[in-house]
Structure 1
Amino acid sequence: MVVVGAGLAGVACARELARAGVPVHLRERGRVAGGRMASRRFAGRPVDLGAAYLTVSDPGFAAVLRQWRAAGLAREWTDTFFAYRGAGRREVAGPMRWAAPRGLRSLVEQLAQDLPVDLGRPVHRVGPGPTVDGQSCAAVVLAMPGPQAAPLLDPALTTATRATRAQGWSPSLAAMLRFPERCWGELRGAFVNAHPVLALVCDDGDRRGDAAPVLVAHSTPEFAAAHLAQPAAAASAIELAVRDLLALPMSAEELYVHRWTYAKPTVEVTATYHLDDDGIGLAGDAFGPPRAQTAWRSGHDLARALLARGTDQ
């Protein structure tokens, strides 16, 4: 069995298969596991640049979250955000949002710690059989956004190809802004409505629990689409928008912008995964509400379907 993509969906799938005794080969083109549960270190501390937080309603995912909490990897953050619209601001209550002191990527790495993960090893072709780069296997799971999976598929794999093309995705830019000192009041996180640049701003020092003077801003899809070719060039516009929104008296001393071409699914898919007669599976947060919980459930459920089919190689 080959699972391609070591984000939360891929790792959840591989972990469930391995627990059942199925040999699994987990391949990831990047240098680290995590996918869009992405963290990067700045000034010696991790900053979450992909998913902003976790919410939980699924019993299975809740059990995983309890394990992360017991290991000191996850903590309750807040159930209250601000919502900005124009010059107005109000508090909005919602579900408890969970954060990770070591970065959300650490949660995926913990799930993958006993799995054979080949990092920096991209897959180039998935063919009938199925095969992965010419090598036969019992089944293949592509745990990634459909537009990234589609180019890997042989044209003969029409069912999987159609499934990838049925997905829709919007882009985003995530910006880390580190200031000389904390120069804002209570924030936690804020939804920004009807803004030309910003969609979400999070107080990373509050989220992480170390009070670092770091904000993370997530752009609107429209702003991101206009800057995908040169995301770094958008840094000054994002900083200006954040400073204006929060009335900050000083400039950031460090800025970094990360591009997410496929940040959020935009087409509702009712199934929790895709598995066809060719032995090709698709998993990820495209299969339900765009949340980390959806990615975990998708990978887990696909593994159970493969086990029920009798896939063991």
Structure 2
Amino acid sequence: MTHITSNGAPDPARPVTVIGAGISGLACARALRASGTPVRVLDRGRRVGGRMATRTVGGRPVDIGAAYLTAPDDDGFADIVGGWTERGLAREWTDTFAVATASGVSGTTTGPMRYAAPAGLRSLVADLAAGLEVVSDRVVSAVAPGSVDGASVADVVLAMPAPQARRLLPDDSPFAPVLDARAFEPVIAVVLCWDERRWAADLHGAFVDGDPDVSFIADDGDRRGDGAAVLVVHTTAERARRHLAAPDGAIAPAVAATRRILGIDRDPDAVFAHRWTFARPADNGDEPYLWHDGIGVCGDAWGGPTAVRTAWSSGDALGRAIGAGAATPGR
């Protein structure tokens, strides 16, 4: 549990350690800080963001991880997104996507408003990190109650995909059966760049059903608002599994499928592929987080359908519970 000094206050020398600087970990850290609980965030990457990743391609940001945000009115995440929108960090993108099969676009579907970020979704995670102690390039190898890599700590939060969290815990961890059962699917994101747009102006994005290679296509120029002729294609999990060792192998099938589905008349001028071994949970638990003996697990596999808002809500709920001394053992 969080170490308390003799006067009843949290000990700043022993902050809660959050491992993972994606949106769930930073939501947890912000909730802890709001409660007056000292917190430190460790991340193995050079920059915050996790799977809300943005890569600079051709001098502009391209989202290669999560494709968008949604923020239902009855969700606490709506206030966060509203603040980002008011400050120009996020923007309303679209509520309509194309629906496609392997043979082409067949119609459209309307759903909730999707939000994007002019500077890329990673910029929103960076905004959450402002004012927090974040240690980058910090690889963690082992976590046990009260210990990170053998060093004594207070509570520990693992804000990461379940398979990665499982690797850090001992074999006898009570979380082991739960984490082992939480499967994740891979995706390879393929960025395709042309000299000019060669697809319908109102594409926005497309859900693709029944194609062996492609599951989603995002018009990144439309998403970003600058009109750039850039598409980001998410492969199917099966196609990704074939190329995890060498993700560039997914480029040719993704290009062929995208050209066929959207009727594009030639290959792109530039391409880039990024591997996500643990892109999204195959199923989700009903509980908003896991907690036992001073260790918590949070992320998009807990408490709702796979979405950015689920990751934020999971981390926020766990941070609030720890800060209030109300994290429930066994959850």
User: Which category of TM-score, normalised to the shorter sequence, fits these structures?
Assistant: over 0.9
Query: Which residue of structure 1 lines up, in the alignment, with residue 186 of structure 2?
Result: 171
- 1:81 & 1:88 partners in 2: Cα distance? 10
Query: Which residue of structure 1 lines up, in the alignment, with residue 141 of structure 2?
Result: 124
- 1:43 & 1:291 partners in 2: Cα distance? 28
Query: Which residue of structure 2 lines up, in the alignment, with residue 193 of structure 1?
Result: 209
Query: Which residue of structure 2 lines up, in the alignment, with residue 29 of structure 1?
Result: 44
SS state at 1:122 partner: coil
SS state at 1:141 partner: strand
After TM superposition, the structure 1 = structure 2 runs for residues 111-190 of structure 1, keeping only pairs within 5 Å, are 111-128=128-145, 130-156=146-172, 158-186=173-201, 187-190=203-206
Query: Which residue of structure 1 lines up, in the alignment, with residue 274 of structure 2?
Result: 258
How far residue 269 of structure 1 moved from its aligned partner, in angstroms, is 0.3
Alignment partner for residue 232 of structure 2, among 212, 216, 233? 216
- 2:250 & 2:77 partners in 1: Cα distance? 36
SS state at 1:84 partner: strand
Query: Which residue of structure 2 lines up, in the alignment, with residue 4 of structure 1?
Result: 19
Query: Which residue of structure 2 lines up, in the alignment, with residue 90 of structure 1?
Result: 107
Q: Which amino acid aligns with 1:244?
A: R
CA contact 1:160–1:280 (8 Å) conserved in 2: no
Query: Which residue of structure 2 lines up, in the alignment, with residue 297 of structure 1?
Result: 313
Q: Which amino acid aligns with 2:200?
A: G
CA contact 2:105–2:262 (8 Å) conserved in 1: no
CA contact 1:168–1:265 (8 Å) conserved in 2: yes
CA contact 2:284–2:301 (8 Å) conserved in 1: yes
Alignment partner for residue 243 of structure 1, among 259, 268, 273? 259
How far residue 259 of structure 1 moved from its aligned partner, in angstroms, is 0.6
SS state at 2:76 partner: helix
How far residue 154 of structure 1 moved from its aligned partner, in angstroms, is 2.3
Query: Which residue of structure 2 lines up, in the alignment, with residue 78 of structure 1?
Result: 94
CA contact 2:21–2:43 (8 Å) conserved in 1: yes
Q: Which amino acid aligns with 1:101?
A: P
- 1:245 & 1:49 partners in 2: Cα distance? 20
How far residue 310 of structure 1 moved from its aligned partner, in angstroms, is 6.8
How far residue 123 of structure 1 moved from its aligned partner, in angstroms, is 1.0
- 1:55 & 1:91 partners in 2: Cα distance? 18
Q: Which amino acid aligns with 2:301?
A: A
Is residue 2:301 matched to residue 1:286?
yes
Q: Which amino acid aligns with 1:232?
A: D
- 2:167 & 2:78 partners in 1: Cα distance? 34
How far residue 166 of structure 1 moved from its aligned partner, in angstroms, is 2.6
Query: Which residue of structure 1 lines up, in the alignment, with residue 75 of structure 2?
Result: 59
CA contact 1:177–1:216 (8 Å) conserved in 2: yes
Q: Which amino acid aligns with 2:324?
A: A
How far residue 185 of structure 1 moved from its aligned partner, in angstroms, is 1.6
- 2:65 & 2:123 partners in 1: Cα distance? 13
- 2:171 & 2:164 partners in 1: Cα distance? 15
Q: Which amino acid aligns with 1:184?
A: W
- 1:107 & 1:87 partners in 2: Cα distance? 34
- 2:115 & 2:326 partners in 1: Cα distance? 36
Mean CA deviation greater in 180-189 or 34-43: 180-189
RMSD over aligned Cα atoms: 1.3
- 2:140 & 2:112 partners in 1: Cα distance? 38
Alignment partner for residue 60 of structure 2, among 21, 33, 45? 45
How far residue 308 of structure 1 moved from its aligned partner, in angstroms, is 2.5
CA deviation vs aligned residue, 1:13-39 (integer Å, no higher than 9, x gap):
001101222111100001110111010
Mean CA deviation greater in 161-170 or 31-40: 161-170
Query: Which residue of structure 1 lines up, in the alignment, with residue 241 of structure 2?
Result: 225
Query: Which residue of structure 1 lines up, in the alignment, with residue 222 of structure 2?
Result: 206
Q: Structure 1 residues 236, 5: closer, same or farther in 2, change over 3 A?
A: same
Percent of pairs with identical residues: 48
CA contact 1:14–1:26 (8 Å) conserved in 2: yes
- 2:117 & 2:237 partners in 1: Cα distance? 26
CA contact 1:9–1:297 (8 Å) conserved in 2: yes
CA contact 2:220–2:230 (8 Å) conserved in 1: yes
- 1:285 & 1:161 partners in 2: Cα distance? 18
CA contact 1:2–1:26 (8 Å) conserved in 2: yes
How far residue 206 of structure 1 moved from its aligned partner, in angstroms, is 0.3
- 2:109 & 2:132 partners in 1: Cα distance? 40
CA contact 2:206–2:218 (8 Å) conserved in 1: yes
How far residue 268 of structure 1 moved from its aligned partner, in angstroms, is 2.5
- 1:249 & 1:310 partners in 2: Cα distance? 59
CA contact 2:143–2:149 (8 Å) conserved in 1: yes
- 1:122 & 1:88 partners in 2: Cα distance? 44
SS state at 2:66 partner: coil
How far residue 133 of structure 1 moved from its aligned partner, in angstroms, is 1.3
